[in-house]
């Protein structure tokens, strides 16, 4: 049965303000930077720099950092940084309502940035001109004997028992009360393209997996995903590993270190990634993945029904707890305000609950 989007968003914009080129970094607030770093190191990130108040972690790619943790009283997701093509892009973004002027960056790598706020209030840094960092060492992908083809002869498969090298920050997923407004903002001002959209039975969007517009250059299936929720909150972020063996080794080592597992190992349906999800010390989900789809800008948007069963091709079905935000008094109060005030229709809440729980 054909599925049809019954709302204006998500849809690619015909003339976006700029076209973001990469997800540069994520920003979190953490009460204990030592604890945050211990998890991230076990997860596979490497310290780039640290002060008493800020921790910078990096991946193997030639970027100075991909993860920033600020010392704060309470844990919170602050926002994300997106690389843009030129200083002209920064000029255009600085003219948007509420945007900062172009400012110099004092963080590792330097460069310049414009600070924006998306409709949900998350910080969005547009960055340009950061100096590359030397890439970190990483192992080559494992060689597999498959389907009668013996690429490895007289060479047993032996993997190093160590945290897997994170190749890069891959994507971030946000839950939003005003899905339409947020999707319009990211497509209009930063050029995101919806790759696949999951729909509720009435055709309203529940999840939009959105990729960068890199023209003929293949881009990850999604760099940003937006989900209809009852509050504005972080869902999870994802980090690419070299192969499925790295995902498996990551699970073994994180489990032995006592960290909390969230879901996996499995293979997603939309995006195709082999995945494994873990919770950091503050309950925020972090995903290891490998073997994701890549699309050029020409590929049209796909539409699919939302369901727990549709989240993975194999592996454990998505736990009901996975899509539930971390409980807190402010979250409950915000959810009640959005529902009772009509910002999130009660009918949408019921349909989301029926599909996911």
Q: For residue 263, what pLDDT is reported? A: 97
CATH of the domain at 105: 3.10.180.10
Residue 5 located in a structural domain: no
In a domain, 151, yes or no: no
CA distances from 91 to 83, 86, 131, 189, 287 (A): 14, 9, 20, 13, 34
In a domain, 118, yes or no: yes
Q: Concatenated DSSP letters for 107-173? A: STT--EEEEEE-TTS-EEEEEE-PPP-PPPP-PPPPP--BTTB-S--S-------SPPPP-EEEEEE
Please indicate, yes or no, whether the overall pTM of this predicted structure exceeds 0.85. Answer: yes
Instruction: With respect to residue 13, please indicate whether it lies within any of the assigned structural domains.
Output: no
Q: Is residue 142, in this structure, part of any structural domain at all? A: no
What per-residue confidence (pLDDT) applies to 330? 77
Domain count, the chain: 1
Q: Are 146 and 126 in contact (CB under 8 A)?
A: no
In-domain check, residue 72: yes
Q: What is the pLDDT of residues 89-138, one digit of tens each?
A: 999 999 999 999 999 999 999 999 999 999 999 999 999 999 999 999 99
Residue 316 located in a structural domain: yes
For the beta sheet containing 103-104, the strands, ordered from the edge strand earlier in sequence to the opposite edge, are 46-50, 54-58, 67-71, 22-30, 76-83, 123-128, 112-117, 103-104
Q: What are phi and psi of 37, to 5 degrees?
A: -65, -35
pLDDT of the chain, 357 residues: tens digit per residue: 568 898 999 999 999 999 999 999 999 999 999 999 999 999 999 999 999 999 999 999 999 999 999 999 999 999 999 999 999 999 999 999 999 999 999 999 999 999 999 999 999 999 999 999 999 999 999 999 999 999 999 999 999 899 999 999 999 999 999 999 999 999 999 999 999 999 999 999 999 999 999 999 999 999 999 999 999 999 999 999 999 999 999 999 999 999 999 999 999 999 999 999 999 999 999 999 999 999 999 999 999 999 998 999 999 999 988 987 777 777 778 888 888 888 888 888 888 888 887
User: What is the residue range of 286's domain?
Assistant: 22-131+165-356
Q: Return the exposure string of 77-114: e unless at least 16 CB atoms fall within 10 Å of the residue's CB, then b.
A: bbbbbbbbeeeebbebbbebeebeebeebebbbebbbb
- Whether 15 maps to a domain, the answer reads no
Please report the pLDDT score of residue 317 as a whole number: 93
pLDDT at position 315, please? 96
């Amino acid at each position: 049965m054909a599925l049809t989007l019954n709302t204006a968003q998500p849809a690619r914009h015909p003339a976006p303000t700029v076209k973001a080129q990469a997800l540069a970094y994520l920003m979190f607030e953490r009460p204990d930077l030592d604890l945050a770093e211990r998890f991230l190191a076990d997860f596979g990130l490497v310290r780039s720099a640290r002060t008493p108040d800020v921790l910078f972690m990096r991946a193997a790619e030639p970027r100075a950092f991909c993860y920033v943790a600020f010392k704060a009283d309470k844990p919170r997701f602050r926002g994300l940084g997106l690389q843009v093509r030129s200083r002209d892009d920064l000029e255009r973004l600085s003219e948007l309502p509420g945007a900062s002027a172009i400012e110099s960056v004092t963080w590792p790598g330097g460069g310049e940035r414009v600070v924006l706020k998306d409709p949900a209030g998350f910080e969005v840094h547009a960055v340009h001109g950061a100096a590359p960092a030397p890439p970190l060492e990483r192992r080559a992908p494992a060689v597999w004997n498959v389907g009668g083809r013996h690429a490895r002869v007289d060479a047993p498969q032996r993997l190093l028992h160590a945290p897997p090298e994170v190749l890069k920050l891959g994507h971030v997923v946000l839950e939003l009360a005003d899905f339409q407004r947020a999707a319009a903002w990211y497509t209009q001002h930063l050029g995101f393209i919806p790759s696949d959209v999951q729909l509720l039975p009435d055709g309203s969007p529940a999840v939009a997996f959105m990729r960068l517009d890199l023209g003929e250059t293949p881009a990850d299936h999604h760099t940003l995903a937006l989900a209809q929720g009852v509050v504005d909150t972080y869902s999870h972020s994802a980090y690419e590993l070299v192969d499925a063996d790295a995902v498996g080794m990551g699970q073994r080592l994180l489990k032995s270190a006592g960290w909390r597992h969230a879901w996996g190992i499995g293979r997603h349906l939309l995006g195709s990634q082999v995945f494994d999800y873990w919770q950091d010390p503050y309950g925020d989900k972090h995903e290891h993945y490998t073997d994701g789809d890549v699309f050029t800008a020409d590929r049209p948007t796909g539409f699919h029904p939302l369901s727990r069963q549709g989240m993975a091709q194999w592996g454990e079905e998505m736990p009901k707890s996975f899509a539930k935000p971390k409980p807190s008094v402010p979250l409950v109060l915000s959810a009640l305000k959005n529902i009772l005030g009509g910002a999130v229709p009660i009918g949408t809440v019921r349909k989301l609950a029926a599909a996911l729980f």
